Amino acid sequence: MFGSLKALPADPILGLLAKYREDNNPKKIDLGVGVYKDEAGHTAVLDCVKKAEKYRNDNEDTKVYIGPTGSPLFNDEMTKLIFGEHKVINENRTRTVSAPGGTGALRVAAEFIKSCKPGATIWVSNPTWANHTGLFQAAGLTVKTYPYYDYENKCLDFDGMLAALKEVSADDAVLLHACCHNPSGMDLSTEQWHQITDVAKTNGFLPVVDMAYQGFGDGLEEDASGLRHLAEHVEEMIVCSSCSKNFGLYRERIGATTLVGKSSDAVDIAYSVLLYVVRVIYSMPPAHGAAIVETILTSDELRNQWFAELKEMRDRINGNRQLIVDKLKENGVTRDFSFITRQRGMFSFLGITPEQVQQLQDEYSIYMVGSSRMSIAGIANSNVDYLAQSIAKVL
């Protein structure tokens, strides 16, 4: 049976990482992989996580299954983190399940949508996270795109986005990025969220909100404000959240899928279908990451420590945006790169050609995705001068 298979190309980002690791240039810079790094280029375990893990290790007394829903405490805390003091919680219209990371949460949502309407269409932004299309198609959904990023003017193509979404039918789903858009870093403004909400309410399509970076943009509350406004006005939606970035739990693979229904009774029916989806995909979610998160979120001490550590990561990334723009100016670059400072989250399109991206890799050992998407967290005081000088040379 295996003999009929043909090799598939390697994931471009993972392939980029392999090349970076093999590069012997001491000045090499990794701007490809989307993980947070400190000034030393290290992705450290948060101190609050270490304390929560110690508590977990000292108090865990069983490894028995936790059930398809995952930890009820984790699910409740994640729902509150996403929605705050929101009417959908007060009206008992939410149901949350733990999932294996944000990717697992998205796949669960996709399979759930297929259960609602086989062959359904989901609209994603152009561009979007590279894995969105593959995982939705693997679940049997049709994927179409709506305009989002204006590459020429380095800004949001909101007029194009709004016009496209006005044509989406009530039988379709629309994927929206809650904050820190991957890969462009260009987020919707408050007013733009309001306009999208009006279209969603009028047309009746299902909003599916991917929130992988809550707290990495402007703050935990600020980053959820658009999503919360949307939930205030639509009858149904799905939120897929991740703890990989904001808790630094990349390898623990913990996230959540949250349903918002028209009523408590309606969401109970949907929830029963969601649990069946979970059961036939992976049966039970991992427990360790959820235990860490719920320990942090239910402890005043650890929660406050997490707030501080998350702010440190957020401030460093936002500071790096201004840093690289200033350094490019210092090196005589006349092109306007100020758009980088108006973006949020881990990523930004540098806006150079694929040939220039390849030149940066070949001649200067600077690694980024061919689209010129770069991970802002890979910039550091120790490498920013070399980075700016190299970009200036290829320009």
Q: Which amino acid is at 290?
A: A
**160-163: long-range contacts at Cβ-Cβ below 8 A with a sequence spacing of 24 or more?**
161/125, 161/196, 162/195, 162/196, 162/199
CATH of the domain at 352: 3.90.1150.10
* Region 248-268 average pLDDT: 98
Helix 354-364 and helix 384-394, axial crossing angle in degrees, nearest 10: 130
Q: How confident is the model at residue 283 (pLDDT cuts 50, 70, 90)?
A: very high
Residue 164 has pLDDT above 90, yes or no: yes
pLDDT for the residue numbered 211: 98
Tokens of 210: 């991917």
Which position among 129, 187, 193, 327 bears the catalytic label?
129
Catalytic residue list contains 210: yes
Residue 17 has pLDDT above 90, yes or no: no
Question: What digits encode the pLDDT tens for the residues 183-211?
Answer: 999 999 999 999 999 999 999 999 999 99
Q: Which amino acid is at 78?
A: M
Q: Which amino acid is at 61?
A: D
Residue 323 has pLDDT above 80, yes or no: yes
* Region 136-164 average pLDDT: 97
Which position among 210, 223, 306, 327 bears the catalytic label?
210
Q: How confident is the model at residue 290 (pLDDT cuts 50, 70, 90)?
A: very high
What's the half-sphere exposure (Cβ side, CA atoms, 13 Å) at 324? 32
Last residue of a domain, one of 269, 298, 327: 298
* Region 214-240 average pLDDT: 98
pLDDT for the residue numbered 349: 93
Catalytic residue list contains 245: yes
Last residue of a domain, one of 298, 326, 357: 298
Residue 356 has pLDDT above 80, yes or no: yes
**In Å, how far are 213, 230, 282, 340, 350 from 323, measured between CA atoms?**
21, 34, 44, 10, 14
Helix 158-165 and helix 190-203, axial crossing angle in degrees, nearest 10: 10
Residue 8 has pLDDT above 90, yes or no: no
Same domain flag for 241 and 151 = yes
Tokens of 365: 């050992």
pLDDT for the residue numbered 258: 98
Catalytic residue list contains 117: no
DSSP tag of 370 = T
- Please provide the average confidence, as pLDDT, over all residues in the chain: 96
Q: What element of type H or E holds 33?
A: none
Same domain flag for 160 and 212 = yes
Same domain flag for 172 and 253 = yes
Residue 9 has pLDDT above 90, yes or no: no
Same domain flag for 190 and 326 = no
Number of domains in the chain: 2
Rounded to whole angstroms, the Cα distance separating 244 from 224 reads: 17
pLDDT for the residue numbered 216: 97
Same domain flag for 200 and 343 = no
Please say whether the beta carbons of 358 and 330 come within 8 A: no
* Region 269-288 average pLDDT: 97
Question: What digits encode the pLDDT tens for the residues 82-123?
Answer: 999 999 999 999 999 999 999 999 999 999 999 999 989 999
Which position among 157, 245, 306, 327 bears the catalytic label?
245
* Region 322-347 average pLDDT: 96
Last residue of a domain, one of 298, 318, 353: 298
Q: Which amino acid is at 263?
A: S
CA angle, 264 then 109 then 189, to 5°: 85
Helix 72-83 and helix 225-233, axial crossing angle in degrees, nearest 10: 90
Rounded to whole angstroms, the Cα distance separating 88 from 25 reads: 53
Look at residue 52 and tell me if it is in a domain.
Answer: no
Same domain flag for 41 and 73 = no
Look at residue 53 and tell me if it is in a domain.
Answer: no
Same domain flag for 294 and 311 = no
**138-146: long-range contacts at Cβ-Cβ below 8 A with a sequence spacing of 24 or more?**
138/107, 138/110, 139/107, 139/110, 139/111, 139/113, 139/114, 140/114, 141/110, 141/113, 141/114, 141/173, 146/174
Look at residue 316 and tell me if it is in a domain.
Answer: yes
pLDDT for the residue numbered 294: 98
Buried b / exposed e along 88-103 (16+ C-beta atoms within 10 A)? bbeeebbbbbbbbbbb
Q: Quote the domain boundaries for residue 151.
A: 65-298
Residue 70 has pLDDT above 90, yes or no: yes
Same domain flag for 312 and 275 = no
pLDDT for the residue numbered 34: 87
Rounded to whole angstroms, the Cα distance separating 241 from 78 reads: 8
| Helix, strand, or coil (residue 257) | strand
pLDDT for the residue numbered 151: 94
* Region 166-174 average pLDDT: 97
Same domain flag for 259 and 138 = yes
Same domain flag for 236 and 119 = yes
Same domain flag for 243 and 205 = yes
Q: What element of type H or E holds 230?
A: helix 225-233
pLDDT for the residue numbered 11: 80
**197-202: long-range contacts at Cβ-Cβ below 8 A with a sequence spacing of 24 or more?**
197/229, 197/230, 197/232, 197/233, 197/234, 198/233, 199/162, 199/165, 199/166, 200/165, 200/174, 200/230, 200/233, 200/234, 201/233, 201/234
Residue 10 has pLDDT above 80, yes or no: no
Q: Who's near 4: CB < 8 A, 6+ residues apart?
A: none
Same domain flag for 93 and 27 = no
